[in-house]
């Protein structure tokens, strides 16, 4: 990045650019987790889903570039990433609804399994360069290259920004949204309404995992735009905390994702102006932030406002 | 798990179901390998040979089992209280940091010894330095998870998520220390702390490759088993894990119990970090983050939170991890193969959880109500 030329102005610009780039995976994965948790289950395994999505999107984009051209192949990659996520989501949904099986434990197992699958099949794709998703350049008005490169925005990010209000509307105003809320809040009421709890949860978890898979595609096909085994570094796990922070509200998931993307960009932005001291501690910012938020917002006296009632109960 | 005529069926259930689950996982993994065009039987053969085939390879298995025994306790102990803690990796890393700090201070008198100090060690007896390192590991790892327990009890912060986040914080802290305040200038490619002098490291059990960490692991599991099953403290913990409200009414200090159990749990994982530093790496660096923490969760699960069973399961899993290198060399499979296998085992074992009490052959004939065997009384 040419931020050095801007001196100290490079820091806020770097953070802005990092926010716009880095928040896309957070956005998809947190919207996915939001949908899952609204139905009363937690999916910790989205970390594995994110990795599998990133790997499959990258692999498909690379393998198909000669057959369908490098303009189309990344988009097929995005779709495949979503479908790979759905497969993992199905396993999670089926297993976590067995009697006496804890959904958090299933999540941990799915992290190990999902990352195992991603690393196993992703090994050959660490070196080659796959075609990337196109970007929308919003920085054309500026003559400064740093600003131009900072405002290259992914269409996936815009898609995510659109999904957030759509999901809000879905929960608030549609019949299906009501079913999901009923299943998550009060399974008894849902039963009385004649809604099949397992089916609703199955669909929600699978759809949520689809979104998380696309979040993975954001990582490997947009920013940082490569496939490596350390690419997600816990973003799928942070999604769980992010949803708590956003109080299970899709619109607030959007703000929370931007916030986390920004927190993640502080370290590299400071590094670009030569502040190297403690850069590893800065890398820990999102995790420390998440923990602090949880400490502040949780209370032993009452359950969190907005939390689905059946969340965290085993049989619920 | 005393065998008596009245509960042999439920004892059989506790033994048969995990073994059957492992078998099913093996079959699924075999299908996965066959699907990729590898001969599953040749792969099983190689796993067996490199893990348990002869004394030399079994030593490698035991080497890897040692930290697994310790990290599994980090999940198994709090599980008795109904807590699901998965911060094993972070506690291991913190323990490694604590052990390194103690080890450097006790042998050189400084974290960044000058050449002069390197030449003139303080000259404490090796045993006291080793005990100091163990204490450092126990305190650092213990406090790390005790924080999780305290947050859980006093702020109702979900212990699973907070401990998970703290893994990442611990790893960042380790990277910060070995890149900055504790960096040995001589370590160029792989930033590390100053090495612990050879004389103060944990040696090998005579004429083997196995270091004394294995003894630490086995003793810790035995103590944990005794503590949980045969002391009032363990009984109080199990009571609180069964029903928090009943425990409160009975006057049990639930908060104190939570923090103490979490401290003990973290100190076991911290001890694993100490073993890695004092016996394997000789110094603190990024190699501490080797996945023993996450594998320890799996061990605790398969062992159904029973510390004695954890010794056996850790040895099995140690064998599988030990064979990873051989799979890579002889079958040209990526190192993540072991991860896929672990994931499969984990998923199948979780599914088997739902089978307890559902299979007819393990049902007691309806004569009189017998209390369930102690080791099955864990709520999951």
pTM (whole model) above 0.95:
no
B180 has a chain A CB within 8 A of its CB: yes
Predicted local confidence at residue B261, as pLDDT: 96
- The rounded distance, in Å, linking the Cα atoms of B268 and A154 is 46
User: Across A143-157, A261-275, B28-42, which has the greatest mean pLDDT?
Assistant: B28-42
Of A105, A117, A280, which is closest to B301 when you measure between CB atoms? A105
Q: Which of A116, A240, A280 sits opposite B343 (nearest CB)?
A: A116
Is A119 in Cβ contact with B334 (below 8 Å)? yes
Q: Which two tokens stand for residue B157?
A: 């912060």
Mean pLDDT of B192-206: 92
What average pLDDT score do residues A252-266 get? 91
Confidence of residue B288 (pLDDT cuts 50, 70, 90): very high
Mean predicted confidence (pLDDT) in B333-356: 90
Q: Tell me the range of A50-64, A94-108, A121-135, B359-373 where mean pLDDT is highest.
A: A50-64
Q: What angle do CA A20, A25, A29 make, to 5 degrees?
A: 135
State the pLDDT at residue A1: 44
Q: Which residues of B touch A109 (CB under 8 A)?
A: 343, 346-347, 350
| Position A237 confidence tier, pLDDT thresholds 50, 70, 90 | confident
User: What percentage of chain B reaches a pLDDT higher than 90?
Assistant: 61
Those of residues 241-260 in B touching chain A at CB distance below 8 A are none
ipTM attached to this prediction: 0.90
**Residue A303 pLDDT class (50, 70, 90 cuts):** low
> For the residues A259-267, what does the mean pLDDT come to?
87
| pLDDT for A4 beyond 80 | no
- Residues of A whose CB is below 8 A from B162: 291, 294
What would the pLDDT profile of B135-191 be if each residue is shown by its tens digit? Answer: 999 999 999 999 999 999 999 888 988 998 899 899 999 999 999 899 999 988 899
* Residue B21, token pair as written in the block: 């689950």
For chain A, the average pLDDT equals 89
Min Cα separation B161/chain A (Å): 7
Please enumerate in sequence order all residues whose Cβ is within 8 A of that of B253, keeping only pairs 6 or more positions apart, or say none. Answer: none
For the cut 90, the answer to whether the pLDDT of residue A244 exceeds it is no
pLDDT tens, residue by residue, B228-278: 999 999 999 988 888 888 888 888 899 999 999 999 999 999 999 999 999
Chain B residue numbers with beta carbons less than 8 Å from the beta carbon of A95 are 347, 350-351
Q: How confident is the model at residue A265 (pLDDT cuts 50, 70, 90)?
A: confident
- CB contact under 8 Å between B350 and A115, yes or no, is no
Mark which residues 257-296 of A lie under 8 Å from B by CB: 277-278, 280-281, 283-284, 287-288, 290-291, 294-295
pLDDT, chain B, mean: 89
The verdict on a CB contact (< 8 Å) between A123 and B336 is: yes
């Amino acid at each position: 990045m040419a931020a050095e030329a801007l001196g100290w102005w490079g820091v806020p610009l770097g953070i802005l650019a990092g926010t716009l780039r880095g928040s896309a995976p957070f956005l998809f994965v947190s919207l996915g987790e939001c949908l899952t948790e609204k139905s009363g289950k937690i999916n910790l395994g989205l970390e594995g889903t994110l990795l599998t999505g990133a790997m499959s999107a990258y692999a498909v984009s690379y393998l198909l570039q000669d057959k369908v051209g490098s303009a189309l192949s990344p988009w097929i990659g995005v779709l495949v990433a979503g479908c790979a996520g759905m497969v993992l989501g199905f396993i999670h949904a089926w297993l976590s609804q067995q009697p006496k099986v804890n959904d958090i434990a299933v999540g941990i197992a799915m992290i190990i399994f999902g990352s195992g699958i991603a690393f196993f099949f992703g090994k050959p794709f660490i070196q080659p360069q796959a075609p990337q998703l196109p970007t929308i350049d919003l920085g054309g008005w500026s003559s400064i290259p740093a600003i131009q490169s900072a405002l290259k925005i992914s269409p996936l990010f815009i898609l995510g920004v659109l999904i957030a209000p759509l999901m809000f509307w879905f929960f608030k105003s549609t019949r299906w949204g009501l079913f999901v809320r009923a299943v998550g809040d009060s399974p008894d009421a849902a039963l009385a309404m004649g809604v099949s709890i397992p089916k609703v949860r199955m669909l929600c978890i699978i759809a949520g995992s689809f979104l998380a898979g696309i979040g993975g595609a954001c990582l490997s096909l947009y920013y940082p735009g490569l496939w490596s085994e350390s690419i997600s570094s816990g973003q799928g796990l942070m999604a769980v905390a992010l949803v708590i922070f956003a109080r299970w509200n899709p619109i607030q998931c959007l703000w929370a994702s931007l916030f986390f993307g920004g927190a993640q960009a502080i370290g590299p932005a400071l590094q670009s102006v030569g502040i190297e001291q403690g850069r590893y501690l800065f890398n820990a910012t999102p995790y420390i932030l998440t923990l602090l938020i949880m400490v502040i917002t949780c209370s032993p006296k009452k359950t969190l406002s907005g939390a689905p009632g059946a969340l965290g109960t085993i049989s619920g | 798990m005393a065998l008596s005529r009245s509960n042999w069926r439920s004892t059989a259930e506790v033994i048969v179901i995990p073994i059957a689950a492992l078998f099913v996982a093996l079959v699924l993994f075999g299908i996965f390998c066959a699907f990729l065009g590898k001969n599953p039987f040749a792969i099983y053969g190689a796993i067996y040979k490199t893990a348990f085939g002869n004394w030399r390879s079994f030593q490698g298995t035991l080497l890897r089992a040692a930290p697994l025994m310790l990290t599994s306790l980090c999940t198994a102990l709090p599980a008795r209280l109904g807590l699901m803690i998965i911060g094993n990796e972070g506690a291991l890393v913190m323990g490694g940091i604590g052990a390194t700090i103690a080890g450097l201070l006790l042998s050189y008198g400084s974290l960044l010894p000058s050449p002069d100090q390197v030449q003139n060690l303080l000259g404490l007896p090796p045993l006291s330095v080793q005990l100091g390192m163990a204490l450092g590991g126990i305190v650092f790892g213990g406090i790390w998870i005790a924080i999780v327990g305290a947050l859980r009890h006093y702020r109702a912060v979900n212990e699973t998520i907070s401990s998970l986040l703290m893994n990442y914080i611990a790893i960042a802290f380790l990277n910060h220390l070995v890149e900055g305040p504790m960096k040995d200038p001589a370590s160029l490619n792989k930033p590390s702390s100053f090495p612990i002098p050879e004389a103060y490291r944990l040696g090998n059990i005579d004429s083997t490759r196995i270091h004394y960490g294995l003894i630490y692991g086995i003793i810790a599991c035995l103590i944990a088993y005794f503590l949980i099953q045969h002391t009032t403290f363990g009984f109080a913990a199990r009571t609180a894990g069964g029903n928090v409200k009943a425990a409160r009414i009975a006057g049990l200090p639930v908060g104190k119990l939570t923090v103490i159990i979490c401290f003990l749990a973290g100190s076991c994982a911290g001890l694993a970090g100490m073993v890695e530093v004092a016996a394997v790496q000789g110094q603190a660096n990024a190699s501490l983050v080797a996945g023993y923490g996450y594998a320890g969760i799996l061990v605790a699960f398969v062992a159904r939170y029973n510390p004695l069973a954890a010794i056996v399961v850790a040895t099995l899993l140690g064998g599988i991890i030990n064979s990873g290198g051989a799979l890579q060399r002889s079958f040209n499979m990526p190192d993540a193969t072991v991860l896929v296998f672990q994931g499969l085992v984990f998923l199948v074992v979780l599914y088997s959880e739902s089978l307890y009490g559902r299979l007819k052959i393990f049902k007691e004939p309806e004569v009189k109500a017998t209390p369930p065997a102690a080791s099955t009384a864990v709520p999951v």
